[in-house]
Amino acid sequence: MLARLLTLGVACLVVLLPAATDAVTTDAPGGSPQPAGRAASRSAARVETPVPAAARPLAGRTVVLDPGHQLGNARHPREIDRLVQAGPSRKPCNTTGTSTDSGYPEATLTWQVAMVARRDLQQAGARVVLTRSSNSASAWGPCVDARGRLGGRVHADLTVSIHGDGSYARGARGFHVIAPASVRGWTDDIAAPSRRLALSLRSALGRARFPRANYIAGGDGLDVRSDLGTLNLSDVPVAMVELGNMRNATEARGMRSKQGRARYAHALTDGITRYLAAR
């Protein structure tokens, strides 16, 4: 188990140590990973030693994770088509999201990636708040305005919205990160730190060897939009990640596998951790 985790090259790993050590290794700045065996033997000899701050780099931080869509949205067209405030304009409450060609839904992908990322972040000391509490075929929403506003409501340090894209363009693949444009009265107060968050997430996904989207203008893995309620309604730094193109067979294979989803989640944790460390 541990050996398999270590091969993933992840941002945060739980090491199977005596409970008192509560050890998490990290590759965040200032926290150099340690061989688990040596750390275990040292810690076992000094069980009263406080956990070093570097082991819980996100202590005191609050992170909102927004797993995009909801599994039951398609069964509730009237509710999710209702217009809500999405910034300067109004937009539908939510959408059904996309899926792989084999029918693996975006709502389930985003939920499962968020579950792993939540565990990573909690192990690093963060408080994690989700915008939805289930992935259920009978549930719908929440609407994009509520998703966007949650970060401010819970006094979060940041929000990361998790999505998968659904492009039918031939050969379209790769991830991209969306930062909010600066829209006066809406996002002008969070646009700059949100861009830094988006760049940190882009770097982390790159370090995890995910390719940048080849079908988004610029090809640099970064998009800036003014039309997304989840971003426009946020009062804390926010970025949306399109993990990849669910309609691409190669990327769909990774998304359907537990190991592939863990790679995405660990990369998000890495990007969040480094963004917060630099603030």
CA angle, 116 as apex, 113 and 120 as ends, to 5°? 135
DSSP state, residue 50: P
Question: Which residue lies nearer to Zn ion by CB, 97 or 174?
Answer: 97
Question: Which residue lies nearer to Zn ion by CB, 68 or 105?
Answer: 68
Q: In sequence order, which residues have a C-beta less than 8 Å from that of residue 244 and are 6 or more positions away?
A: 164, 165, 173, 174, 175, 210, 213, 251, 254, 255
CA-closest candidate to residue 264, choices 4, 7, 8: 8
Question: With contact defined as beta carbons under 8 Å apart, do 162 and 106 qualify?
Answer: no
Distance CA 56, CA 126 (A): 8
Question: Which residue lies nearer to Zn ion by CB, 147 or 163?
Answer: 163
Question: Which residue lies nearer to Zn ion by CB, 132 or 163?
Answer: 163
Consecutive H or E run containing 199 = helix 191-207
Question: Which residue lies nearer to Zn ion by CB, 25 or 245?
Answer: 245
Distance CA 279, CA 42 (A): 32
What residue ranges in the chain does DSSP mark as E strands? 12-14, 24-26, 62-67, 83-85, 90-92, 127-130, 158-165, 176-180, 222-225, 238-245
Contact window for Zn ion (CB under 5 A) among 127-135, 155-163, 250-258, 268-276? 155-163
Question: With contact defined as beta carbons under 8 Å apart, do 85 and 145 qualify?
Answer: yes
Distance CA 117, CA 266 (A): 6
- With CB under 5 A as the rule, give the number of residues binding Zn ion: 3
CA angle, 226 as apex, 224 and 229 as ends, to 5°? 115
**Shortest Cβ 252–Zn ion spacing (Å):** 15
**Shortest Cβ 131–Zn ion spacing (Å):** 13
Contact window for Zn ion (CB under 5 A) among 55-63, 73-81, 96-104, 243-251? 96-104
Distance CA 210, CA 11 (A): 15
Which of 48, 79, 242, 251 does the annotation list as catalytic?
242
Site string for Zn ion, 230-269 (x = CB under 5 A): ----------------------------------------
Consecutive H or E run containing 79 = helix 77-81
Contact window for Zn ion (CB under 5 A) among 11-19, 40-48, 97-105, 253-261? 97-105
97: contact with Zn ion by CB under 5 A = yes
Site string for Zn ion, 31-70 (x = CB under 5 A): -------------------------------------x--
**Shortest Cβ 47–Zn ion spacing (Å):** 46
Q: Does residue 242 carry a catalytic annotation?
A: yes
Contact window for Zn ion (CB under 5 A) among 12-20, 90-98, 136-144, 203-211? 90-98
**Shortest Cβ 174–Zn ion spacing (Å):** 16
- Residue number of the CB closest to Zn ion reads 163
Out of 61, 163, 263, 274, the residue judged to bind Zn ion by CB under 5 A: 163
**Shortest Cβ 120–Zn ion spacing (Å):** 21
Active site residues: 242
Binding site for Zn ion (CB under 5 A): 68, 97, 163
